[in-house]
Structure 1
């Protein structure tokens, strides 16, 4: 019975909202966690040019991508992107 009451209330709110008789606004209740204060989106914000050169050199000297991920604290896709960019640049 509670479910029917909830549905009736929701239906009434939707009707009032769509016909302009209510100031009630339906908002998206799903919220994502805010980024942490130390979160940085770009690898270039987390790695210096010297770090990137060290990553490329370590790979050239036989380090695996898994080792680079752990050492530099970046994702596999970031490691692959850096290596690809430096391979293109020559």
Structure 2
């Protein structure tokens, strides 16, 4: 299983816009073929930072999403809200107690 972690920072005045966009699209992203899990986290110490964790069946499933119209639309509305450069990691899930 491939896990995609994305760290994003937003200006305070853009957070509601980001959260509304996420709310509108979260079920569509989660329902995308190959997506097993989608979670959104908010920083405790820096509440302007958010993290998405998504689980994908494999790298091809993630690439299919990244090349989709869904991703392009969501990302276009998200990237204009950043106040810092986003960071992303793809990692393999080695173990979980869940």
Q: Do both share a fold (TM > 0.5)?
A: no
Higher RCO structure (Cα 8 Å, ≥6 apart): 2
Higher strand share: 2
**Which has the greater radius of gyration?**
1
- TM-score (normalizing by structure 2): 0.24
Higher helix share: 1
